[in-house]
Amino acid sequence: MTWLGQTWTGLADLVLPGTCAGCGAGGPGALCANCTRLLRGLRAHPVRPTPAPPGLPGCVALGGYEGALREVLLAYKERGRHTLARTLGDLLASAVAAGVRLAGPPAGTPLLLVPVPDTAAAARDRYGDHMLRLARRAAVRLNAAGWPAGLATPLSARPRADSAHLDRAGRADAAAGAFAPRTRELARMAEVAARGAVVVALDDILTTGATLAAVAGRLRASGVPVPLAVVLAATRRRAGSRTPSG
Ligand SMILES: [Zn+2]
């Protein structure tokens, strides 16, 4: 069912006149001019869930999880519109650049980008790890701008049940056991970080912060500090997220 649905969606994207992933308007391309302008106008800003889980790094979000940004993320992640990876990866790169500047290190400090991994099942359903694809694009974009950025995948995601129905404490428990370390890559990362590279954890949406806290905790336990996490969107109700995006 999923396979058929995904295939059909992809096919529809190819052969039917385009609809904007942000607002549904008809027209050429995956995004209309208005939504493109809206997304490009977003400005990364610090966000913090309330309460923040222990060990959560400083977080920066490009925007709130609403409007065109929410629709585009859903279209990319859940409806198989992979052509949006380019736009979203570019937005992620700009959020990383802004986040690092806000966090203190000067522009140009070497970066190690660590996307939160999909479980194998999710990656299968989505025809590939959705954050890995965005992080790869973001790294290319940063490197093209003269900012050295590498991609690291030191964790794999263990199979897990959908956590959407869990409360905050349940999510934190589930997140803590969700990732398995790749020891050799972690050891290499620790060396690179010790020589001044800044590790940045990446995710698409910040809700409770449990996932990013778990990722940072896993890395920290292996001697890899994670001073910063960058997300594309943060859900509202979070302290700081009401900061005007302009
Ligand atoms: Zn639109």
User: Is residue 62 assigned to a domain?
Assistant: yes
Distance 66 CA to ligand 1 centre (A): 13
Q: Which domain holds residue 110?
A: 43-234
Average pLDDT, the chain: 87
Q: How far does the centroid of ligand 1 lie from the alpha carbon of residue 136, in Å?
A: 25
In a domain, 197, yes or no: yes
Question: How many A from CA of 161 to the centre of ligand 1?
Answer: 33
The string of pLDDT tens digits covering residues 112-136 is 999 999 988 888 888 889 999 999 9
Answer whether residue 69 is part of any domain: yes
Question: What distance in Å separates the CA atoms of residue 233 and residue 246, rounded to the nearest whole number?
Answer: 15
- Which has the closest alpha carbon to 118: 133, 103, 139, 98? 133
E strand or H helix at 213, and its extent? helix 210-221
Residue 23 inside a domain? The answer is: no
30 alpha carbon to ligand 1 midpoint, in Å? 8
CA of 90 to the centre of ligand 1 (A): 18
What's the distance, Cα to Cα, between the start and end of the chain in Å?
Answer: 42
CA of 179 to the centre of ligand 1 (A): 36
Count how many domains the chain has. Answer: 1
d(CA 26, ligand 1 centre) in Å: 8
Residue 29 forms part of a structural domain = no
Asked, for residue 214, whether it belongs to a domain, the answer is yes
Report which of residues 102 and 114 the model is more confident about.
114
Question: With 90 as the cut, is the pLDDT of residue 230 above it?
Answer: yes
Distance CA 152, CA 113 (A): 6
pLDDT for the residue numbered 125: 84
Assess contact for 67 and 59: CB atoms under 8 A: no
What residues does the ion ligand 1 have nearby, CB within 5 Å?
20, 22-23, 25, 32, 35
**238 versus 105: which is more confidently predicted?**
105
Q: What is the pLDDT of residues 166-209, one digit of tens each?
A: 777 777 777 778 899 999 999 999 999 999 999 999 999 999 99
Q: What is the pLDDT of residues 71-98, one digit of tens each?
A: 999 999 988 888 899 999 999 999 999 9
Q: What mean pLDDT is predicted for residues 126-149? A: 94
Report the pLDDT value the prediction gives residue 103, as an integer from 0 to 100: 87
CA of 168 to the centre of ligand 1 (A): 34
Q: How far is the CA of 13 from the centre of ligand 1 (A)?
A: 15
CA of 33 relative to ligand 1 center, distance in Å: 7
Measured in Å, residue 156 CA sits from the centre of ligand 1 at 35
How many angstroms does the Cα of residue 201 sit away from the middle of ligand 1? 29
Residue 100 placed within a domain: yes
CATH number of the domain enclosing 198:
3.40.50
Tell me the pLDDT band of 221, cut-offs 50, 70 and 90.
very high
Q: Is 7 part of a structural domain of the chain? A: no
With 0-12 / 13-18 / 19 or more C-beta atoms within 10 angstroms meaning exposed / middle / buried, residue 3 is exposed
Quote the ligand 1 centre to 32 CA distance (angstroms).
4
Q: Which residues contact 95 (CB under 8 A, 6 or more apart)?
A: 44, 60, 61, 62, 230, 231, 232
Distance 133 CA to ligand 1 centre (A): 23
- The pLDDT assigned to 138 comes to 98
What pLDDT is attached to residue 27? 80
